[in-house]
Structure 1
Amino acid sequence: MSIADVTPVVIDSGSSSIKPYLVGKTSDGVPELVWKSIIKTEPDIEEALLGNICLTGGNTMLTGFKERMEHELAALIPPFNQISVIAKDNRKFAAVIGGSVLSSLTNRWSHWTTRQEYGESGASVVHDRSL
C-alpha cells in the first residue's frame, strides 16, 4: 500500500470567476471577457466603457472582487488607459431592481411578449419584436 502526498490548495470562490483555469476550466475569466467585449466596440467609445465598468450580481459581493477585477483588467489594457470599476452596495439586487424599473415603464409594453404569444410563435416572436 502506498500513501499519496496531497498538498491542500485553497481557492476562494471569487478566483474561479477571475481565473477559471484554477478550477480546471479553459474559458476566459471575467476580466478577459470584459476586455474582449470592449475592444469589439467602436474605438471612440472604448475609453468611456473602460471608465464605467459596473459590477452586478451576488458573486461580485465577495470580499476583494472589485479590487481583483481592477488589478486583472489593468494587466490586460494598454498602460495609458484609465479604468474605473464601479461596485455599488446594492449590486446583489441590481437585476431585480432593473427588472422592476423596466416593468414599470409603460412606453415599453409594446415590446413585451405574453406567454400565449410565445406559445404560439416560439422564440421567433422575440426576434420579430426586437427588429
Structure 2
Amino acid sequence: MTKYLVLISMVLSIGSYFLVIKGETEIYPFFHFKLYSQPKGNKMEAREFRVYEIIGRDTLRHSVESIRSFDKDAYMYFLDGVTNDILCNKDKAENMKRLAVFLNYLYPNHGKMMVVQEIYNQFELEKDQTHFTKTVLIDDLF
C-alpha cells in the first residue's frame, strides 16, 4: 500500500511542477512541502539564515554541509533558532556564546563572521541564482 501512495505522490508532484511552470495552481497540496525536515508551506518565498565570513573587503558565503555531528537540517534549525532568539533579545549574551561555539566548531580557522538573512522565490532562483535579497542581521561575531 505504501509504495502505491509514494507513486501517487510522485505523479501528483510532477504534475504540480508542470502546472506551476505554466502559471497554474498546483493540484497537489504538498508540492512545496518538505513535510518532515522543513515544513515551509506554499508561500513562494523562502527565508533562510546563512553564515558569511568577512575576508578583507569581501564576503564568503559558507555552504551548509552535513558533517559527522550535524546534518543539514540540524544545522539550519540550530542557526534559525539561535538567530531568532538573539534578534528577540532572548538570553542574547548566552545565545551569542552558543552561536560562537557552533561557528568555531564548524569553521575552526575563520575570520570575522556574520549571519545574513536571505529571501528568495524558489522558482525565480532556479532561473537566476543571483535573484535573492540579503539582510545582515548579526555582524559583530568575533
Q: TM-score range by the shorter chain?
A: under 0.3
TM-score with structure 1 setting the length? 0.26
Pick the structure with more strand per residue.
Answer: 2
Larger radius of gyration: 1
TM-score with structure 2 setting the length? 0.25
Pick the structure with more helix per residue.
Answer: 1
